[in-house]
Structure 1
Amino acid sequence: MTNGALSRFNPAQPGARGMKRVATGLLVVMAAVFLAARAFESRYPWLSLVKSFAEAAMVGGLADWFAVTALFRHPLGLPIPHTAIIPRNKDRIGEALANFIRENFLIPSVVARRMQNIDVAGATGRFLRTPAGEGTRIRAGASRLIADIFESLDDERLGGIVKGAISARLRKMEVSPLLGHALASAINEDRHVPMLEAAIRWMARALDANEPLIREMVHKKANWVLKLAGLDAKLADAIIDGLKKLTVEMSEDPAHPVRKKVEEALAQLANDLQTRPETRARVESMKDQLLDNKSVSLWLDTLWQKGREAVIRAARNPDAVLAGKLGEVLRSMGGTLEKDARIRAAINQFARRAVVGMSASYGSSMVKLVSETVRGWDAQTVTNRLEAAVGRDLQYIRINGTLVGGLVGLVLHVVDKL
C-alpha cells in the first residue's frame, strides 16, 4: 500500500487533521489577539494582561508545535539536529517494539504466569452456552472472518496441502493396533452384536436375492444321473432351505455354535492385529496400497470440498447451524465445561501448556517478524502510520501548550507588576 493510499485509507487521520487545524487556528488567534492588544495597550492599560497572555501562549504553542513536528519531520523543512526523530530511528523503534513484545508477552515464564488467571474452558463454555447477547456479535464477527479466510485462500493449493498432510499422517500411523484395540473393545462391551446381527440379516437378504443363481450353480455342478432323476432341484432346495434355517437360527439364538465361531474368529483377529507381526505387516501393506489408489485421492478431494463448503455455509449462517442438533450439542458442551471443574481444569492446563509451548517454539520468530517488518517499511510509511495513530493526541498537546503557556505568562506579568 502506498503512502498516499495509506493516508486515504486510515480512518484515524481525519480526526488528527481536524485537531491540527484547531491547534494551528488557536495559535493564529493568539497572534491576532497579541497584535490587537499591543496596538490598543496605550489607550487601555488593562490590555497588558491580555497581551502577556497572548504573547506567552504564542511561545508555548510554537514550542509545542516544534516538538510535535520534530517527532515526524524537519520543522519547515530545515535539517535541524535532533528533528525527524521517528524516520531516522525507525529501525531502533522496531527493535524496541520487538523487545517489548518478547519481554512482556512471549517469554514462556511470563506467558505461563499470565495464563494462570485465564479461564479458557469457562469462557469457551459461556460462549457455547449463550445463544444470544454479546456472544452473538462476537460469534457473528468470528464466523464472517472464518468464512472470508476459507473463501480467500487458494482452494487448489490449500486442498493439496490438506490432502498431503492427511495422507502423510496416515502413512506414518500404524493402523493395525488401533483397529485391533477398537475391535477388542467392541467385543468386550458387546458393541459388535448389532454389527453381527446386521451381517446375518444381510446374508438372509442376499440368499433370497440370489436363489436362482444358487439353483443354476447346483444344476451345472450336478452329474447327469442327478439331473436325469431330477434330484438336482431337490438338492438345491435342500441347500437353500438349510442356509435359510441357519440364518434364522443364528439371528434368534445368541449362543448358536456358528455365531460363537464367528465371535471367536473376530476375537482372534483383534488379537492378531495387535500382536502378530505378519497380520500387522499385511494390514499396513493394504493401507499403503489403498492410499496409492486414485479413487482414494478422488475421495479425499470430495471430502475436502464438502468439508470446506460446510465450514463456509456454517460460518455464513452460524445461527441456523446452532439452532439445530449441532446447537444443542454445543450448548450441552458449554454447560458441561461450566459445571465440571475437573474437565475445566484439564482443558485450562492443556491450553496453558499449548500457549507456553507455542511461545517457546515460535516466540523468537514472531519477534523477528515484527522487527524485520518495521525495518522493511520506508521512513515515510512509518511516519504516516504512527502519526495517524497518535496525531490527534499530539495536537491536544499543542492546544494545552498554548493555553498553559498563556496562563503562565499572565501569572508572571501579574507577579512582575506586583
Structure 2
Amino acid sequence: LGDWLADPARVHDWVAEGRRWALKAVGLFDDDRMRRATLALVVAQARRWNSAATAAEVLSLLTQGGRHHELLDVGLQKIGGFLAEDEVKARVSELMVRHARKEWPKVIGMVELVTPVARMADGLADRLSASVLGELRDVLAQPDHPVRLRYDRWLAEFIERLRHDAALVAAFESVKERGLADPAVLDYAGQVWNDVKALLQDDLADPQSALADHVAQAMRDVGQRLRDDESLRASLNEHLMSAASQLAINLRAGVTTHIAQTIKDWDDRQLVDELELSVGRDLQFIRINGTVVGGLAGLALHALRQLAG
C-alpha cells in the first residue's frame, strides 16, 4: 500500500479519475435541498456558538504583547488629526457661539459692544484644540500615562465580564439571535451552498485543481510514511488483520444463516430444480442407474417367486 500510494503517476491517475467523478456528483445534488440543509446547519452552529466567549478570546489575544495599545495609538492619532483640521475648529467655534447666544443672550450682547463674539470663539476653539492635542501627545509618548493604565484596567475587566457576567453574555446572545432572525442574514446563509457549489465546480473542472492537488499530496505523504515508518506499517497491518478477522466471523455466521433459511423456504419442486441445476449430468446418471438397478432387482424377485411356485 505504501509503494502504491507513493507512486506519483498512479496517484495522479486515480486522483484525476476521482476529480471527474466528484465533479459529476456535485452536479447531481438537489440545490433546494442542499440550500435548506446548509441553512439549517449554519443556524444550528451559530446558536451553539458562544459569542461572548469568542469575543473574550479575541480581546485576550489582542492584549498579548501590548497590541491593544497599538490600536489605542492609532485611534488617538486619528482623533488628533481630526481635531487639528481647520474645518473642525471652525465648527466648534460656531457651536460655542450658538450655544452662548441661546443661554446668555444679554451677556453676549454686551460683549459684542466691545469685541466680536465670533472672534473670541475662534480663539477659544484654537486653544481648546491645542490643549486636547497636547494631552493626546502626552498619552502617545508615555507608556505609563494614566489614560493608558485606565484603558488596561477597563479592557481586563471587560474580558472577565464577557466570560463570567451572565447579563453581558445574555446581551451578546440576544444580539446574535436578532441577527439570526434577520431575513437578510437568513437569505445570505441560504446562499452559502450556491457559493460552495460554484467554487467546487470551478476547481474540479480545472485539470490543475487545487483540491485534487491537495488530495494527491496527502496520498503521497501517507504512502511515504508507510514506506518509511515500520511501526506505522505494523500498526496498520494489525488493525487490518483484526478488521478482516472480525468481518470473516460476521460474514460466516450471516452466510450460514442465510443459506439455511433459503433452503428451508424452498418447496420440493424448487429443491429438485436447484439440485439438477447444481449437479447436472451426474444427477441424470444417478437417476438412470437407479432405474436400471431397480428394474433388475424387481426382475430377480419375480424370477425367484416363479421358481418357488
Provide the residue aligned with 1:261 in structure 2.
150
Provide the residue aligned with 2:203 in structure 1.
314
- Report the Cα distance in structure 1 between the residues aligned to 2:157 and 2:89, rounded to whole angstroms: 31
8 Å CA contact 2:89–2:126 kept in 1: the answer is no
Of 156, 180, 187 in structure 1, the residue corresponding to residue 32 of structure 2 is: 156
Letter of the 2:95 partner, please give it. K
1:112-261 aligned at under 5 Å gives the runs 132-187=8-63, 189-190=64-65, 193=67, 196-198=69-71, 200-201=73-74, 204-205=77-78, 208=81, 211=85, 212-213=87-88, 215-222=90-97, 223-224=100-101, 225=108, 228=117, 230-245=119-134, 248-251=137-140, 253-261=142-150
Alignment gaps of 5+ in structure 1: 1-117, 357-366, 372-397, 402-418
Residue 253 of structure 1: how far off its partner (Å): 4.5
8 Å CA contact 1:201–1:247 kept in 2: the answer is no
- Report the Cα distance in structure 1 between the residues aligned to 2:133 and 2:50, rounded to whole angstroms: 40
8 Å CA contact 1:204–1:244 kept in 2: the answer is no
Residue 209 of structure 1: how far off its partner (Å): 5.7
1:71-110 aligned at under 5 Å gives the runs none
CA gap 1:230/1:270 in 2 versus in 1, 3 angstroms: same
Letter of the 1:133 partner, please give it. A
- Structure with the largest fraction of helix: 2
Q: Specify the structure having the higher radius of gyration (Cα).
A: 2
Letter of the 2:151 partner, please give it. V
Encode CA deviations 1:50-101: one digit per residue, 9 max, x unaligned: xxxxxxxxxxxxxxxxxxxxxxxxxxxxxxxxxxxxxxxxxxxxxxxxxxxx
Encode CA deviations 1:220-276: one digit per residue, 9 max, x unaligned: 144244971623223333444455455555555444432332232222111101111
Tell me the TM-score normalised to structure 1 length: 0.42
Residue 200 of structure 1: how far off its partner (Å): 3.8
8 Å CA contact 2:53–2:162 kept in 1: the answer is yes
Encode CA deviations 1:330-388: one digit per residue, 9 max, x unaligned: 77x959x959x9xx99xx99xx9xxx9xxxxxxxxxx9xxx9xxxxxxxxxxxxxxxxx
User: Relative contact order: is structure 1 or structure 2 higher (C-alpha 8 Å, sep ≥ 6)?
Assistant: 1
Alignment gaps of 5+ in structure 2: 102-107, 244-253, 259-279, 282-309
Of 282, 285, 297 in structure 1, the residue corresponding to residue 174 of structure 2 is: 285
Residue 199 of structure 1: how far off its partner (Å): 5.5
1:296-375 aligned at under 5 Å gives the runs 296-317=185-206, 319-321=208-210, 338=225
- Report the Cα distance in structure 2 between the residues aligned to 1:147 and 1:206, rounded to whole angstroms: 53
- Report the Cα distance in structure 2 between the residues aligned to 1:263 and 1:155, rounded to whole angstroms: 50
8 Å CA contact 1:147–1:315 kept in 2: the answer is yes
- Aligned identity (percent) is 15
Task: Report the count of equivalent residues.
Answer: 221
CA gap 1:286/1:134 in 2 versus in 1, 3 angstroms: same
Encode CA deviations 1:27-48: one digit per residue, 9 max, x unaligned: xxxxxxxxxxxxxxxxxxxxxx
Encode CA deviations 1:123-168: one digit per residue, 9 max, x unaligned: 9xx97xx794222222222222333222221223312210121112
CA RMSD of aligned residues (A): 4.8
Give SS of 2:208's match. Answer: helix
- Report the Cα distance in structure 2 between the residues aligned to 1:269 and 1:158, rounded to whole angstroms: 40
- Report the Cα distance in structure 2 between the residues aligned to 1:181 and 1:143, rounded to whole angstroms: 39
Residue 320 of structure 1: how far off its partner (Å): 4.8
CA gap 1:291/1:237 in 2 versus in 1, 3 angstroms: farther
CA gap 1:311/1:199 in 2 versus in 1, 3 angstroms: farther
Provide the residue aligned with 2:165 in structure 1.
276
- Report the Cα distance in structure 1 between the residues aligned to 2:193 and 2:24, rounded to whole angstroms: 17
Letter of the 2:38 partner, please give it. V
Encode CA deviations 1:188-217: one digit per residue, 9 max, x unaligned: x33x61x65246425534664684356424
- Report the Cα distance in structure 2 between the residues aligned to 1:137 and 1:255, rounded to whole angstroms: 64
